[in-house]
Amino acid sequence: MTLTHPSPNFGERRGAGRPDLVVLHYTAMSTCAEALARLCDPMAEVSAHYLIDTDGTVLSLVDESARAWHAGAGEWRGEGDVNSRSIGIELANPGTHPFAERQIAALERLLSGILDRHNLPPQSVIAHSDMAPDRKADPGPRFDWRRLALQGLSVWPDPAPPGDAPADLRAFGYPDAPQDTLLQAFRLRFRPWAQGTLDDTDRALAAGLRRFAVDGAGGDA
């Protein structure tokens, strides 16, 4: 079920004005109602295009044509102002609990429609922690990225001959950041329970991400 609950917190997209990313978040709040109140509070100056409750209810807060205020400082594929380039989806979750099945099923339906409407490839769906690895951790280690990838709604790397992991991660889209910061963000999404220093499994999976790198025209790099 999709309900419309307009937020006053939005503006015009800058530049090309066309979204080329979808950024996934968790709300880090105890209830969906609490998150909804904040995302619609003009004093908070935050919003997202969609908020999905644990029961699968989708709340449409900002029209996809507008610039919602969800991403903050960060970059992806060498470009900043991610808000102007993206559609933001918030999942009601405090960050400490597994995601509800009905919530994820609703997300899958929503993502499928967004990718179709905007002609976006699966690699356009990223985590908030991907584009802001020095300050964000959502949607966190409990989010099942592989499940999305199996449906063509995100990507999952096959291991490739190990190479220069930081360079491979930057080629995929990660910002230019210290190796430890990149490793933390990469593992949060692709090896969430891994520990220790960079290893050959990290290097092989990072190398596998290179095939999902895209150029400015949206083709394979």
Strand partners, 86: 21
Which of 80, 59, 61 is closest to 71 using CA atoms? Answer: 80
90 is known as an active-site residue: yes
Indicate which residue of 12, 90, 101, 108 is catalytic. Answer: 90
Q: Which residues 6+ apart lie within 8 Å of 121 measured at CB?
A: 115, 214, 218
For 202, what's the count of Cα atoms within 13 Å in the CB-facing half-sphere?
Answer: 23
What is the C-alpha separation between 82 and 166, in angstroms, rounded? 21
Residues 129/25, Cβ–Cβ less than 8 Å: no
Task: Report, as residue numbers or ranges, the catalytic residues.
Answer: 90
